[in-house]
Structure 1
Amino acid sequence: MTLTPRIVAQTRDRLGESPLWHQAEQAIYWTDLYGPILHRLGRDGRIESWTIPGTSFIGSFVFASGGRVMLAIDTGLALFEPGSGRITPFADPNAAREGVIYNDSKIDRQGRLWVGTLDLAEAEPRGMLYCVDAEGNARLGDGGFTVCNGPAFSPDGGVLYFSDSVGRRLLAYDLAPGTPVLRNRRVFAALGPDDGIPDGLTVDAEGGLWCAHYGAGRLTRFAPDGTVLMVIDLPCPIVTSMGFGGPDMTTLYVTTGWSPGVTRAEDETGPGGALLAFDTGIRGLPEPVFAVG
């Protein structure tokens, strides 16, 4: 399927990531990993941007209680207050391992934070997927990946989906409500050499799993059994993540990026690095808030 998305924010993010819809504000937030910048696009069309001091990367973020944002930055998880700019360290399950940084994160249906790491050189399987509770206690979910990406959860919370990006595969795990233990790891989908790299994930209200294909300029929607339901081509090769939003939760926001090694010369002045959006006719699910003290 070919859809022409509209550009809703003409940013020039080197690596846009983590689009999250804020229900109360009716606003979309996202990041530039290399900025390191947190963006907000409000209902009035105005873009606010915060450059995060003291760090080189924002791997991802989630909304936290009290109007705060939980950032996954170089030094660990940290609470950020957009109004004051205050940053408070929260947890570091990575334990300051050199050459390993935080990447994608999401809140599960039980309110727990799942965050992955990656080997900065993208050469060794040093990446881990952690589960962090509201008190900052961390538990290892799985490990041995070069790049952890895109945790997402089925509507009932019983399945965790995960992008093993360098392995070019999507994994699925069973997740019981009362425990952060992952069971029954299995390959949900394998990507071919022309399919790019599986990156960000999100799940819609019908249980469809959406995957961004970094380097291939497309999105794929899978049924819960792994059947491909839809492939959507996008106008730039670096597509990193997507998330539902809008008043009726049917708008899909898509983050993109640009890179001399991936982006074609003719794309250098194109939409790479912008925030895109299009109407899907499929309702998404609101992302939970991390209820920290």
Structure 2
Amino acid sequence: MESTKSWKHGLFFLCIMIFCLLFTGCGKEAKPEVTEAKESLPVVRVGLELYAPLVYLDVSGNYVGIDIDIAKEAFHRIGYQPEFVLMNWEERDKLLSNGDIDCIWCCYSMAGRQYWYRWAGPYMKSRQVIAVSPHVDIQHLSDLKDKVVAVRSTTKAERLLNESEENGLALGGVYSFSDRNLMFTSLYKGYVDAIAGHEEGIRQYMKDNQLDFRILPEPLEVTGVGVAFSRTDSRQLVADLDKALKDMANDGTTEAILKNYIDDPSDFLQGVRRHD
């Protein structure tokens, strides 16, 4: 009996992985990029992952996106040059502690992690949301009782749902994937009832892949996102970056960047700008 269950479980994930390859295609290979550095400026190694519209590759294979534009401007203001380092998201803390990167920057939620790092930010807000297929009768978070939800592993959404009973949700299960493409494929194929993650990332994935998922109106959480440095990093750089990000929010620079990617960025700056 146990071998049969194990065989079926393995076949389930194999089917998801095969379909995901067919569904998403080969894509463009990510190549390491060092922004053209001015010799006079010190370099900061910024750890990130591909997560459109925050970070993705243009037709030439260069890093672009909301976080890339904000990082370039903020570091320029304080006299540094960013070097963008593509990393395995699940190894981010190891890379940071080993000194392979100086900071983590990719729509990184601060809530619940305030004491894990030394932070610069928040530079904008993000909503953790639930998305479902359009035809299912799931309208509210309370409708997720006994339902199975897929998430990206080691993310804020995973943590929130693994604490679902404490948050008043009685889920049927949480599937965690290291590859977020598998998360979306699981929902598309009906292997799970819902997915959870950053709203902007879900909406961009839907747009890029012509998917018609429906996002529930009530978020799991609304939180600020920031730039995470090691708690042992005592450099003035961190405080200077924090100030630069606040200045950008208040002088309209961050809003101007967001408008290049999002139709109405006002919700993303609520509580971040001085006058909000």
Give the TM-score of the pair, scaled to structure 2. Answer: 0.28
TM-score by length of 1: 0.27
Q: Which has the higher strand share?
A: 1
**Higher RCO (C-alpha 8 Å, min separation 6):** 2
Q: Which has the larger radius of gyration?
A: 2
